Every structure is written in structure tokens, then in C-alpha cells.
Amino acid sequence: MKKKNQTSSSNKYWLAGLSLFCILLMVLSLVSDKPEGPLKGIAGITVIPMQKGINQVGIWLGDISDNFDTLQDMKKENDRLQKKVDELITENNNLQEEKYELERLQELYKLDQNYADYKKTGAHVIGKDSGNWFSNFTIDKGSNDGIKVDMNVMAGSGLVGIVTKTGPTWSTVRSIIDDSSNVSGMALSTSDKCMVRGDLMLINDGRIRFEQMENNENKVQVGDQIVTSHISDKYLQGILIGYISEITVDSNNLTRSGYITPVVDFKNLQEVLVITTTKADLTGKEVK
Amino acid sequence: MKMKRAKRIVVTVVILIVCYLLQCTIFGHLTLASIKPNLMLIVTASFGFMRDSREGMFVGFFSGLLMDIQFGNILGFYALIYLLIGFINGLFQHVYYDEDIKLPLALIAASEFLYGLIIYFLMFMLRSEFHFTYYLSHNIIPELIYTIVAALGIYPLILYLNHKLEAEEKRSASKFV
């Protein structure tokens, strides 16, 4: 009995000690990001290489579980997609027309601003957040490859998120559907600014919310593009976020809000592009 | 004796890392309604009640630390939560028997529920997201169920490894007598 009491009291010391250590770590990491440095290095040589390998197996398994979708679902999906293709073809024709018009007008105005010309580097997604509450993921490039915190991440033509953490050979990216993510966006057609907020409740619907768009006489409608705005201090201007799928005037009659369908398929991200210029580089000041 | 101790530590670390890797990679592709099971919690809880509070604490601390390094905002946050969960599970070591699977599952479920509540309160409610019932029914409960299902597969494995190690430790201890 005596021995048991001894071990349980020493356990309490361990508990207190480790808890204190955790709290100390928290305080330290709030003050500076130095304590993480060596730990990141350790993770870089232990966990990350294995994550890279195993993730291939995961992708394969994911494919298999996708194959379980029944034929009926596939047929329905096919019908839906066929309709979509028809829609898109007409839309495309219209757009082509408009494009020629735009080119003509641009020539007239000598406008040649193309925001999509940022320098990018590709990276593989090697791991996802260990919990279900947040939507972070790790990529296989880190500070050794020139990745820095606050670099924007895209997939295809759409915005995926922002680098929040870098290790020597890996970095963590917070996606824009994450509940704690806020992106300053604007409607491409009218340049009305809004905040695009990630929301855990909408993750399964594949939508994100936008808020605080001024309720003025500018017509913003369903289907309009939302891009990152020029006032954001972290996100580069003009990266496509998605298309408005629903827009309503708020009860205060001053602002509008609604939902965006992002252009990126966040469920099946495998490769992403990291833009190697940050907004701070462009504006020439250190963002605090 | 030292060898045995080192062996136990190595086996524990391997279990920990394997589960973490599975969680971040393969289970990321095997989500149901974008929910995946919490393997780290299974490991932490089972080491807690199978061994004792101290081992539960250490396993919890290191699994939490792994998450903090890769995905956390504040270093030590998950480490502290998992540490406490490991410790609390260790308190049930006296009433734990190998043959009984009900208690381990109940403990894992309870830990998972507690974990969900803590995360909700600290990371969501404090950011004024008050739809508790939504998070309960769409995150906490589904994760709990999926974790229990995963525990049915993983817990016997951990139990088996623990048995083997314990048997070896006993054998070498009796040699000295």
C-alpha cells in the first residue's frame, strides 16, 4: 500500500511538471516562435518523410472507396454533368465573344494588368490536419525550398489558403475553408469589398460565407466571381476564390452577405502551387 | 531490466508514430462525412488505463506535441489536453481487466467526448460560435462513433503488444529471483 501511494504521489508531480511545461511552451510560443525551431527540425527528419510515403497509400485507398459509389449515383452524376457541359458551352461562347471585345477594348486603353502572373512553385499535399475541427494540411516544401510564412497557396486557378508555418522540409497551410480563416475579397465585376470567412458548418456543403459587402446600387448577382481584394495585407490581389452562389441583403439593410462556391475542390487536394512572392514583398513593408 | 525498458519505450514510440501517420495520411482519405477517427486519443487513453497514469501522461504529451508542431497554433495546447486525458484514464487502471472490452470502449468514448467538448469550448465558443448543438451533432458525436469503431480494431492490437511486453518483463524478472 505504501508503495502504491508513493507512485501515485510521484505521478502527481509528473502531472504538475508536464502541465507546467505545456503552459510554459504556450506562453513562449505566444511571445516568439523560437521554441518551435528545433522541434520542427525533428519533425522534419522523423515524421515528414514517412508521411510522404504513406500518403500515396492513402490516395490509393481513397480512390478505392470512391469506387464504391454505385452505378446509379454515377448515372445521375453523368446526367447532371452533361447538363452542366451544355450550360458551359453556351456560357463559353458568350465569354469568347466578350473576350474578343475585352481584348479590343484593352488595346484601346493600353491596359495590360494581369494579376495572375505571380511566380509559383509546385508542392505535394502530404498530410491533413489530425483532427476534424480545422482544415490545415502539410505540403512537402519548406524553408529550404524558399517557402515563407504568409505565402499564398493556389490549386489550379483558385485560392487554397496561406502558409502559416514552415519547417525545413515541410510547411503547414491553412485553407480558406478553415473556421479561423478570413480573407478580404471583392466582387470582380463591381470591386465591392467583402470578407470571406471559412465556416466549419459549411465544409460539407462545399461552400464558404462572405459578409460585409456594402449594399449599394452596384448589382452583384449569383455567378459573379469573387477574387482577393487589393486591400488585403496578406493575400495578393486578384486570385480567384469562387463564384457567388447565393446573395442576400442583411437585415440591417447596409450590407450584403451570402455564399461562395470555391473553385478549388478541397476534398481531393493533391498538388498545390505556392506563390513565392508575398504581399509584404510587393508593398515593400514588413507585415506585423 | 534496462533493455526491457528501452524495448518498451521503442515499441510505444513506434505505435505512437504509426498512429499519427495513419491519422494524417490514410484516414484523411477515408473520411465519412469529412469526419475521421481520433487514433491518437485511442492510443493515449489505452496506455493510460492499461499501464498507469504516468505512461498515459507521457504518451498523451508526445502525441499532443506532434500535433502542435505540425498543425497547432500554440505549441503545448494539444499536448496539455492529451496529457490530462492520459492522466485521467490512468486513474481507472485499478478497475481495468484485460478480458473486459466494455470498460476500455466506454473510457475511450468518454475521453473522446471530453476532448470534443474542450476543443469546442476553447477554440470555437471563445470565438463566439455558439451553435453548440450543431457542433455536437456534426462533429463531436460522429467523431466519437467513428473513433469507437476504429478502437475496435486498434485497441486489441495495442493490448496484444502490451501483453507480449508484459510477459517478457515478467519472465526476465523471475530469472533474477
- Range from A52-56, A279-283, B50-54 that averages highest in pLDDT: B50-54
> Which residues are CB-neighbours of B14 under 8 A, at least 6 positions away?
none
Are the C-beta atoms of A43 and B66 separated by less than 8 Å? yes
A10 contacts on B by Cβ (under 8 Å): 54
Q: In this structure, which topology does domain B2-176 adopt according to CATH?
A: Arp2/3 complex 21 kDa subunit ARPC3 (1.10.1760)
Express as a percent the part of chain A with pLDDT over 70: 87
- Give how far Cα A121 sits from Cα of A20, A44, A160, Å: 41, 20, 14
B59 contacts on A by Cβ (under 8 Å): none
B69 contacts on A by Cβ (under 8 Å): 36, 39-40, 42-43, 167
* pLDDT computed for residue A55 by the predictor: 74
Count of CA atoms in the C-beta half-sphere (13 A) of B52: 10
- What is the C-alpha separation between B148 and B137, in angstroms, rounded? 16
B127 contacts on A by Cβ (under 8 Å): 179-180
- What is the C-alpha separation between A287 and A131, in angstroms, rounded? 30
SS3 B74: coil
Q: Among candidates A277, A135, A154, A157, which has minimal Cα distance to A206?
A: A135
* pLDDT computed for residue A4 by the predictor: 53
B67 in A contact zone (CB under 8 Å): yes
Average pLDDT (A251-258) is: 89
- What is the C-alpha separation between A158 and A119, in angstroms, rounded? 15
SS3 A155: strand
A28-37, A153-162, A228-237, B142-151: which has the minimum mean pLDDT?
A28-37
Average pLDDT (A9-13) is: 80
Find which of B15, B29, B138 to mutate to test the A interface (most A CBs within 10 Å of its CB): B29
Q: Over the range B16-35, which residues count as b (16 or more CB within 10 Å of their CB) and which as e?
A: bbebbbbbbbbbbbbbeebb
Contact B71/A19, CB-based, under 8 Å? Answer: no
Taking only residues 105 to 164 of chain B, the set having a beta carbon closer than 8 angstroms to any beta carbon of chain A reads: 119, 123-124, 127, 129, 131, 134-135, 138-139, 143
* pLDDT computed for residue B128 by the predictor: 80
B66 contacts on A by Cβ (under 8 Å): 43, 47, 130
Per-chain mean pLDDT for chain A: 81
Q: What is the pTM of this model?
A: 0.76
Give the residue, A116 or B170, on which the prediction is more confident.
Answer: B170
For residue B121, the chain A residue with the least C-alpha distance is A133
Q: What are the backbone angles phi and psi of residue B50, rounded to the nearest 5°?
A: -80, -40
Sorted by where each begins, the domain ranges of chain B are 2-176
> Which residues are CB-neighbours of A234 under 8 A, at least 6 positions away?
A150, A152, A162, A278, A279, A287
Taking only residues 75 to 94 of chain B, the set having a beta carbon closer than 8 angstroms to any beta carbon of chain A reads: 75-77, 79-80, 83-84, 87, 90
pLDDT tops 80 at residue A232: yes
Q: Among candidates A59, A55, A21, which has minimal Cα distance to A268?
A: A59
Burial of B43: CB neighbours in 10 Å, binned 0-12, 13-18, 19+: buried
Q: Among candidates B152, B162, B131, B129, which has minimal Cα distance to B56?
A: B162
Q: In this structure, which topology does domain A118-283 adopt according to CATH?
A: Thrombin, subunit H (2.40.10)
Mean pLDDT, chain B cut into blocks of 10 residues (177 residues total): 83 90 82 85 92 89 88 85 92 86 91 92 85 88 91 91 87 71
* pLDDT computed for residue B44 by the predictor: 93
Sorted by where each begins, the domain ranges of chain A are 1-32, 118-283
Average pLDDT (A92-111) is: 74
pLDDT tops 60 at residue A1: no
Count of CA atoms in the C-beta half-sphere (13 A) of B149: 11
* pLDDT computed for residue A287 by the predictor: 46
Confidence band of A6 (pLDDT split at 50, 70, 90): low
A174 contacts on B by Cβ (under 8 Å): none
Find which of A18, A31, A140 to mutate to test the B interface (most B CBs within 10 Å of its CB): A18
pLDDT tops 80 at residue A50: no
Confidence band of A288 (pLDDT split at 50, 70, 90): very low
